[in-house]
Amino acid sequence: MTRSIKILGTGCPKCKTMSNLVHDVVKENSIDATIEKIEDIMEIMTFNVMSTPALVIDDIITIKGRIPSKEEVLELLK
Amino acid sequence: MFDWIQNIADWLIYGILGMKAKSHLAEALNFFIYDSSKILILLFIVIFFMGIVNSYFPIDKVKNYLSRNKLYGLEYLVASLFGVVTPFCSCSSVPLFIGFVRGGIPLGVTFAFLITSPLVNEVAIGLFVGLFGIKITILYILSGVLLGTISGFILQKLNLEPLLTPWVKEVLANAQREQDKFYKEKQPFIKRLPVIWNEVMNILRGIIPYVIVGIAIGGFMHGYIPEGFFQQYMNKENLFAVPIATVLAVPMYSNASGILPIVQVLVAKGIPLGTAIAFMMGVVGLSLPEAMLLKKVMSLKLIGIFFGVVTLCIILSGYLFNIIL
């Protein structure tokens, strides 16, 4: 099943770090997933998060307000 | 408490490098090593401690608390106090603002949080302890909290809701004292530790270059600017010094980490502490990039009023510091 990954962030350095990290994890482990970066604040607000960057996997908020480690992301995608 | 760092610095400079004591360069290097080690250790302790607090006290909890409880006028102070223990990066200010407003938290209370949170953060506290000592640090924290409380209260009384952008007004109309469900991380401390540790290292890695450069510049100035040099221009009697310092500081967006060590030298060379603190608060608390972000939720007029009220309060606290210190 293709996983759907969304990264919510308004474009601050932290959000970019998170985005690169997730891309790396998906690539390195050949995970079948779509990655979408959401930068529009109104769209971000529909997810009800208050701190960015946030990582949404299959429409569930998994991480918010901090940059996770690669292992953590991999664990979440398993 | 920090004698051992001094010993290490002495050993390194006079022992290992074999430099002569009393030479200017040796003393400058010694001071630099002592100062930067001490400050980095303090920063580490404060950031780590705040990381632990924050891990158990996420922003969602703060929001739910403020939204649920009637606090009879104390809500400004409570929001401001929450701001101290809840760091947030300025790019989160908009989602945070909307989240608060949607939870039915009054605009002024939201402002109180938004003002104190960047003003009194873990990096600033760590640096203040290292550079100015505990007493001044506590004064700084207290005035930061009061500043947020008072500014928030004033902003609430100004009835600014009509100045929000249309889509935020819509959010406001649908506001309810709802309790957002959030995914509680029910993890034992030992499992949280790696996450907290990573955050601490991330923050430290980001600020260390600024701290080092700041201390180096500070150390250099220390040797070359004569004692009391600024006294003639910026003494306490000069009533314009505080407002000018504050207004200059507002558009500046720097890491407190780079500027604080320099400010400390300026204070040592005769700039009154209140003036210096007003400058610091302007730099740390208000910034143009933040104003740009807030444009998504506020009209320019509202941003102007917000910045105006906070600037005014900073100037007042600068005067207050100069009077009592």
ipTM: 0.77
Domain hosting B253: range is 3-324
How many pairs of residues across A and B have Cβ atoms under 8 Å apart? 60
The predicted model gives B148-159 an average pLDDT of 93
Long-range contacts, stretch A57-66, CB < 8 angstroms, 24+ apart: A57/A3, A57/A4, A57/A5, A57/A6, A58/A3, A58/A4, A59/A4, A59/A6, A60/B183, A61/B183, A62/B183, A65/B58, A65/B59, A65/B88, A65/B92, A66/B195, A66/B199
Catalytic position from the list A5, A7, A8, A15 = A15
Q: Is the pLDDT of residue B36 over 90?
A: no
**What residue numbers bound the domain in which A66 lies?**
3-77
> pLDDT tens across B84-96, in order?
888 766 667 788 8
pLDDT at B33 over 80: yes
The beta-carbon neighbor of B198 closest among A11, A14, A69 is A69
pLDDT higher than 90, residue B32: no
Confidence of residue B178 (pLDDT cuts 50, 70, 90): low
Q: Are A4 and A57 in contact (CB under 8 A)?
A: yes
| DSSP character at residue B16 | I
- HEC string of B101-161 equals HHCCCCHHHHHHHHHHHHHCCHHHHHHHHHHHCHHHHHHHHHHHHHHHHHHHHHHHHCCCH
**Cβ-based contacts of B183 with chain A (< 8 Å):** 60-62
Number of domains in chain A: 1
- Can you give the CATH number for the domain in which A43 is found? 3.40.30.10
Range in B26-35, B175-184, B277-286, B298-307 with the lowest mean pLDDT: B175-184
How close, in Å, is residue B192 to chain A by CA atoms? 12
Q: Which residues of A touch B93 (CB under 8 A)?
A: none
pLDDT for B2: 75
What is the percent of chain B where pLDDT is above 90? 18
Q: Catalytic residue among A4, A11, A12, A34, which?
A: A12
